[in-house]
Amino acid sequence: MTLTEEDKKRIEEEEKYRAEVRKELKEKSEKPSAPPNAVSQKQESKLVTFFKKFVLLIVGVSLSILLLKGLINSESLTNNDYGNNPAIQEKTSQPSNKTTGGNEILVKEGKFSNNKYSYQILKKSGDKNYYAIFTPFLADDTQVVTLAIMTVVSDVYGSDVFLNNKPNVSEYEGFTFIQIPYKGENIVVTPVSENRQIHSIIMWKE
């Protein structure tokens, strides 16, 4: 059988096409594939952002539940025998007017929970806010957090603050606010936490 020029041309084109296909397949097989867990920088950034928001949401919800249980549902907050509450009686505190080296005044310091926790209540000159700092940080425990709040608030504003006054707990921009009605005003308490541990409390009247 004699091949015509047209047949030869067709065979050459087919061989050329097959060679290109083989080359392409070879390049694909030799090209290292991305590891299964490889994530682009943009995707990783999105994942990190989402994870941070998720963690903040969980922490905020957990803290709210903790405070709601400890403050709203706690009988000790609405008990007329507040002064006889053994949990409050176990605290020890001393008034103070010492300065801390800056414009902060040490209002009071003390210990509570069988001397496990110590605290200092500070106030800046010209500022209506009080700052209670705890050492060590408060454990993620309803009774501990409730006792800490009751201790520092009663030290600043008086031991009758919680008598028949039911706190109102709310959230705003990730922060928890506890409003306690007292003598026609509201005492506002804001816990400040890190890694689910409260290290300080801010208090003021409005």
State the pLDDT at residue 164.
77
The number of C-alpha atoms within 13 Å of 42 and in the hemisphere containing its C-beta is 0
Report CA Rg, the chain.
33
pLDDT in tens, the chain (206 residues): 555 676 666 666 666 666 666 676 666 666 555 554 544 455 555 555 554 554 444 444 454 445 545 544 444 433 433 444 444 444 555 555 555 555 678 888 999 888 899 999 999 888 889 999 999 999 888 888 889 999 999 999 998 888 877 888 998 888 889 999 998 899 999 998 888 889 999 999 99
User: Rounded to whole angstroms, how far apart are CA atoms 20 and 50?
Assistant: 45
Q: Order across the sheet with 117-124: list the strands.
A: 92-99, 104-112, 117-124, 130-138, 197-205, 185-194, 175-182, 168-172
